[in-house]
Amino acid sequence: MTFETRSRIPEEAARQGLLAVAIARVVVAVRTAASVVERWTRAARSVVTPLGWGVLAAAVAALVVAYVYGWLELAVVGWGLLFLLLVASAWLAGRGAGQIELALPVPRVAVGESAEARLVARNPGRRRFAGARLELPVGHRVISRMVPPLARGGTFDERVAIPTERRGIVPVGPARTVRADPVGLMRREIVWSDVRMLHVHPRTIAVSALSTGYLRDLEGSPTRDLTSSDIAFHALREYQAGDDRRYIHWRSSAKTGTFMVRQFEETRRSRLMVMLDLAADAYEDDDDFELAVSVAASIGARAIRDARSLAFVVSGHDRQRPSSASRRGLPALRELPTASRDRLLDALCVVEVDDRAATLADTARAAAESIAGVSLAFVVTGGRRGIADLRQGVSRLPVGIEAVAVRCATEGEADARAVGGLSVYGIGYLDDLTALLARTASVA
């Protein structure tokens, strides 16, 4: 290798190094430019309305045609449209508030009760904020309010009524301020809050204690009912004629000079089941189904209040997640949470009739397979459900369960009858439930 060849190698290496650096810088510059273009494009898409894009396309087309064919009037139109877009973009300046909070003072209400959302706009900064339009989505509607200009430390407090005519879950929010030009070419939205959920519970009514169906059991849970003989001690009281002398507390009697007897809390064990029929052909209309949901909710809420073991089930269909019953070839059924009254009513907010619902007999059979220890069952259905279907469904429950069927038909006559050992109640109004259930209340 000659000296000339050896000297040429470092020069080529230096040129290759410079070329690599130049290529790397070009790649970085292209990526940066692409990022900037993407950011500006995304920003433009977020503020330019479809009408604005149409005006921009018309302006570009007008200018191209005008300068190609020398059409001066069309050039004036094109530049006029661009100027209109520029003026419209000036309306996007400003935020309208420094802070906006959305709150639901009462997140759970019953059908027909008043509900509202509270919007509080504040300006904690030093400069004055211009006014803006505030939009609040409520369900499928959008409620609009104007936020006035806020000086330093200014506050704007607004309450928005929420309709509660229908049971369900109403999404409220997010609260957003909107700045838009009068023509509708530009629109800028600033989101200030998350979505809040308002649960509109079914209407319920207070009913008498559901003492029917209790099984007296020393291994059961103590209740609030007092008795003269059991194992859960409650208090001492004075002896009365007829009291069992075995329960006289002699030490207390010696201190007071009066015979004192022990008083106990009665222990009982039972499980109440409420079965809500979701078959669409069981109800005449939506009002009948809403009445059925209210009836079932009232019974379930009373059972929870009485600290009874409760199973609340609704009929399901084959496309739901398999339950323990459906794995044995039985139709699926869905059990609602009963840990508290609110959790049960929250679940009932989204219960609806289903054309693919399992039959009442299949649902009852699935419940018998998956729910043990039931002593009293309420089957709540519509007025179109015949007595034969009710008896067939109840016959799938285990022997020994006391069953009560409640047929709901809006504005119908309230009645009660016994058919082959099955108590069948007809409900036309929710208030009828109180009188009819009072007939079943008895002390075990």
pLDDT at 309 over 70: yes
Read off the tokens for 20.
Answer: 């690599």
Largest distance between two CA atoms of the chain: 133
Q: Crossing angle for the helix pair 50-69 and 72-89, nearest 10 degrees?
A: 150
Q: What is the pLDDT of residue 375?
A: 82
If you count them, how many residues does the chain have?
A: 444
Instruction: Quote the percentage of the chain above a pLDDT of 90.
Output: 18
pLDDT confidence of residue 223? 46
Higher per-residue pLDDT: 319 or 52:
52
Amino acid at 328: R
Q: Which tens digits make up the pLDDT trace of 277-306? A: 998 888 999 999 999 999 999 999 988 888
pLDDT, tens digit, 9 for 90 and up, residues 419-435: 877 888 998 998 888 88
User: What does the pLDDT average to over 332-361?
Assistant: 88
CB burial of residue 133 (10 Å; 0-12, 13-18, 19+): middle
Report pTM: 0.68
Q: Say how many C-beta atoms besides its own lie within 10 A of residue 125's C-beta.
A: 14
Average pLDDT of the segment spanning 47-55? 82
pLDDT tens column, 156-198 = 888 989 999 899 999 998 988 887 777 778 777 788 888 999 9
Nearest to 300 by CA among 373, 378, 223: 378
Contact by Cβ (8 Å): 167, 290: yes
